[in-house]
Structure 1
Amino acid sequence: MCLAVSGEVALADLVEEISRRYGPSRNLAMGGYADPTVDVTTGLPLLTPFGKHVVDMRAWVYGSWWIGAGTADSGDGVRRVVLVAERAESVVGGSPADASWVERVAAVTGWVGDRRVRTIDWAAVEQRLGTALPSDYKQLAEIFGHGDFDGFLSLYVPDAGVSGMDIVDHAEYLARGASQEGTRLWRPYDIYPAPGGLLQWAASEQADQFYWLTEGSDPEAWPVLVYEDVPGSWRRFDCSAAEFVFRMLTERGHPYSTARYFDTHWFQRYEP
């Protein structure tokens, strides 16, 4: 569906208004030049109706839909347009069999065309935390940033800019709470920085809490523990954070599956 927009509406204002609801956009075309790498998984359906007449196009992902806003040359002048296009179902098998779990998460969410990788001072982050962090988590934080998967799992990252979503600030907050109130809420576990304590890296809209159990000196071997805000509801997953996210997105039998509700998966970023 494509709509022409009144000439009184500036494209910048239109982009800003849509971004308030659907997060930052991706740039598919600018100044009459379309990104030649764009394909059906990264926004091509928004360019197809206009062909060589597209001037500018920004794209947002929402569930199984693309939302686009831009300008096109109609022959009698450049007009602003807004359109919605169906988003092709992600094909997990399209990624190499030896792809990393992070690469698989990027592929299944259609994030492969996004190049806005964050720069994070991991040495400073890990010094403040007092521990190294799993490498796959660091890649997730750099590639995706602060936001959520399928509107369900929110990733905690450094410098999130949102209270409670910064992984370092949140770890310090939980540590203060544990020192003042004890660890009864997390029994039989302790809270990091206690040896082998819990370090939270994500949360869900349903108050599920996703932790690493920081047992052992190798962060790459830390298992994922999930707490459902119900006493004794701990579940352990002997996998990395990225593998957990991928299986959550793609396996209908996963305890926290979003695949049971969505055929197409996405990540919505909450920062510029």
Structure 2
Amino acid sequence: MPKLYKYRGNIDLDSLDGLRLFDRDLQMIQNNEVYFSKLANIKGAIEQLANGEDTSMNDVDSWNVFGFLKLKKAYDKNTINHAHADARKTALNSGVYALSDNYSYDLMWENYGAEHKGYCIEYEIYKVKDFGLRSAKGIVPIASSRMEQVRYAEKVENFSIFRPIQKNINNFLFHANKVKSDEREWRITTSEDGLFNYDRKCLKSITFGEKASNKLIVHVMKALLPMGIKFYQIYRSEPKLLERRKI
């Protein structure tokens, strides 16, 4: 999935606090910066992990029934709970940059694009290494960075003693409750949260919501035109069909 989108809703240009947030987001685009939030700070992440299905003891019991393993002592419940907690903690402390795979979702514009008055940023990313991530601390976290589409379920089988630890962690990182499946989320993750620079060639366009003000459009375009990117605005070709036209 090469084209991914980040919706932005900080578009209040008439108050000091609103203008500060708007300018912060705009400067990040100008500086080729993105902010990776801690998974623990993403709404719903804690609940999703808490409601996950821990099958690790069932795995151990099943294998022992068939006599393949004798794991009762080596893998008692305390040991497994400790491993489970470590995987969960690692995941929750990871940095996450959440994106969507389309610019034309009504729900995304409504919830994250200031009710169609905001804008969304388009990136072209074929593989996570294409993003060229570099943290503000000068660390290049390529080995720990991943990009995957989120998988949705009511309950997530999020830990098994027979899975490699990184796979357990990834199950935490790339699962979400199915009530959010309409967001069609992709996540880029790293081992730490915070501000990162990315390769400028990945930035492709800005798309304004159908209700974006002329003031917003002029302000954003004036700031970003020197970057050589394209600009679009959403319109409705049918009541429930969003498309975009070039500005």
What interval of TM-score do these two structures reach, taking the shorter chain for normalisation?
A: under 0.3
Higher helix share: 2
Higher strand share: 2
